[in-house]
Amino acid sequence: MTTTSAPSSPSPPSWPVTAATSRRARRQQRQCLESAPWRGPVRRYDILKEGTIALVVVVILVAVLAILFSSPDVPAVTLQEWASAQPVGFTQIALSELDGTSTSATYGPPYNHGSGSVQYLYGISIQRAVGVTDPIDPAKDFVLDPLATVSGQPALTAALHRYARAPQATRMAWDAAYGKALSSASVVDTRLVVPSGNYGPVGTMLTEFLAMARSGGLDAQLVAHSDFYTTNYTNPILFLGDSAVAQPNSYWNKIVTAQKMQGTQWGMMNETGSWPGQPWLWLYTMWYQVGPMHTSRNADVEVIAIMTVLSLGLLFVPFIPGIRDLPRKIPVHRLVWKDYYRTYGSARNQATEAALASSVGTTKPAPPSDTR
């Protein structure tokens, strides 16, 4: 007959055991126990088989969801389409870029030093703090420079020189006069007809600008070609977006409304073909539909602040007392490993509690010895 006794418990610490000491000792002992080599049951596991099954299931699931909930494969909106569909509205926005009254011209950082779209949070503007990092002059970048690339048009070249040499007050008078005339403009045989007046060179410039846009040349001119692959569409997007603010019935607004992507709507689109959209963005867009963001002119920076706080909260979940303990307090893992906990959980818990009790010098008895 052999007798195997349980290991003797370590002697209690010689210093006073406070609540903080007890918690720290229990935590250290639990960490040691959890990092110990696994001594429980094992089961044969084919990771290649499981990985293949998981891959097939995910591929099938993605294909089914792509068919059922795919984003519409809408062709890209171009300035050529806009100029052809609404020549008057297009020319009005072009004039606003030229005279400096468009949304882009008065936007503010990061494009210029305006203040039209500067937002604040508790009196602080992140835009102004960062400054102008992507300088854009809409009159020059959207209208004058593209027109300067047109060759074989002596009348246009003369008009550009005349406009450039004219005093600022004269140019403003020409722009204002042409703007009033555009309210009475009409389209005859695809041509924009404007009543005669003292517009200086502005009429010639914008007529050629409209023709350039209709030919598709403006789309190419406004795209930045700094790299081999063109990815910077800032200028055409800003130019097109200016019509959304100035013209409620603009070509762009009609498209956006049809796709349910106005600011008062919840539409989201991932425009890279007919693939699933971006449902994870609902948390971001939701804040625009609730107060005070849905009526605030600082809605963008307010939503960014909210999402920053929520993202940091998610990032630091492992360090937030109470929240980090939820998985232990809500033992969902026990449902997954219910067979193990049904068979081995009770004995393991008893051994763990005994070890923890002995580490802090409590009087909880050790497991009884096993005598054979």
More confident residue, 20 or 114: 114
Q: Say whether pLDDT at 365 is over 50.
A: no
Output helix, strand, coil percentages for the chain, rounded to the nearest 5: 55, 5, 40
Please state, rounded to an integer, the average pLDDT across all residues of the chain: 82
Using the CB atoms, write b or e for 317-355: b if 16+ within 10 Å. eeeeeeeeeeeeeeeeeeeeeeeebeeeeeeeeeeeebb
pLDDT confidence bin for 6, thresholds 50/70/90: very low
**Residue 8, pLDDT score:** 44
pLDDT digits 0-9 by tens, 150-171 = 989 999 999 999 999 999 999 9
| Rounded Cα gap, residues 177 and 174, in angstroms | 5
**Does residue 267 register a pLDDT over 80?**
no
Phi and psi angles of residue 16, each rounded to the nearest 5 degrees, phi first:
-60, 135
Is the pLDDT at 123 greater than 70? The verdict is yes
Span of 15-19, 160-164, 199-203, 318-322 with lowest mean pLDDT: 15-19
Name which of 306, 307, 288 is nearest 297 in CA terms.
Answer: 288
For the cut 50, the answer to whether the pLDDT of residue 60 exceeds it is: yes
- The pLDDT assigned to 363 comes to 44
SS3 track for 59-85: HHHHHHHHHHHECCCCCCCCHHHHHHH
Q: Given this model, what pLDDT does residue 196 score?
A: 87
What pLDDT, on a 0 to 100 scale, did the predictor assign at position 268?
67
Please answer whether residues 182 and 91 qualify as being in contact, where contact means their C-beta atoms are separated by less than 8 angstroms. yes
Q: Tell me the two tokens of residue 231.
A: 């990815």
- pLDDT value of residue 348: 57
pLDDT at 120: 93
Q: Tell me the C-alpha to C-alpha distance, in Å, between residue 218 and each of 145, 189, 222.
A: 10, 22, 6
Model confidence at 226, pLDDT cuts 50, 70, 90, reads low
Q: What number is the average pLDDT over the span 283-293?
A: 86
* DSSP single-letter state for residue 12: P
What is the reported pLDDT for 228?
Answer: 67
Q: Using the predicted structure, report yes or no on whether residue 199 has a pLDDT greater than 70.
A: yes
Residue 227, pLDDT above cutoff 80: no
- Joined together, the tokens standing for residue 22 give 């007890």
pLDDT range class, residue 89, cuts 50, 70, 90? very high
3-state secondary structure of 224: strand
